[in-house]
Amino acid sequence: MLFNLIMLAVPVVFLCASAILAVKAFEHGKSRKKTVLTQICSFAAVFAFCMVCPIVASAATGDAAAATSGMADGLAYIGAALATGLSCIGGGIAVGNAAPAAIGATSEDPKAFGKAIIFVVLGEGIAIYGMLVSILLIFAR
């Protein structure tokens, strides 16, 4: 029980400390790019820690069948989260670039509204496809 609490607390504490240190480093004059890279590296370290600890714990107990099904469920949820998150980021970038162009085209020629809005909708479609993939990953087991 205590081991489980420690395994839950360590990533949270590490990520909070990393965020606080990144903010302080940025306030002291470090570049934005360097602080973002530091955050990405700390996230990767916590991700690796969270992936390795359950594998080590299941190997120590010798319960391979339960570890395999639990690992498959966990990886399906991680895949669903990545599919939704990355597609929403991509859709946001697409809409962020297409919407101002569509507004500009519509302000110059009101007849161009129909053509311009199609490009905005295509960008939003990326996020919907990511959500559908994540639903398939979660419920198709």
pLDDT digits over 115-139, tens only? 888 988 988 899 999 999 999 988 8
With a threshold of 0.75, does the pTM exceed it? Answer: no
| Pairwise pLDDT comparison (9 vs 90), residue with the higher score | 90
**In the chain, what are the domain boundaries?**
1-61, 63-141
Report the candidate in 93, 92, 116, 90 with the shortest Cα–Cα distance to residue 103. 116
* CATH value of 63-141 in 1.20.1070.10, 1.20.20.10, 3.40.50.720, 3.40.50.170: 1.20.20.10
pLDDT digits (tens, 9 = 90+) for 42-73: 888 877 877 776 655 555 555 555 556 667 78
pLDDT at 54: 64
- What pLDDT digit, counting tens, does each position of 67-79 carry? 566 677 878 888 8
Closest CA to 38 of 20, 18, 24: 18
Percentages (nearest 5) of helix, strand, coil residues in the chain = 95, 0, 5
CB atoms within 10 A of CB 121: 12
Averaged pLDDT, 14-29: 83
Specify the pLDDT at position 14.
Answer: 81
The tens digit of pLDDT for each residue in 95-120 reads 999 999 999 999 999 898 988 889 88
Residue 139: what residue type? F
What is the predicted pLDDT for the residue at 135?
93
Task: Kindly report the length of the chain.
Answer: 141
The share of the chain scoring above pLDDT 90, in percent, equals: 14
Q: Compute the distance between CA of residue 124 and CA of residue 7 in angstroms, rounded to an integer.
A: 38
Residue 58 neighbours by CB distance under 10 Å: 17
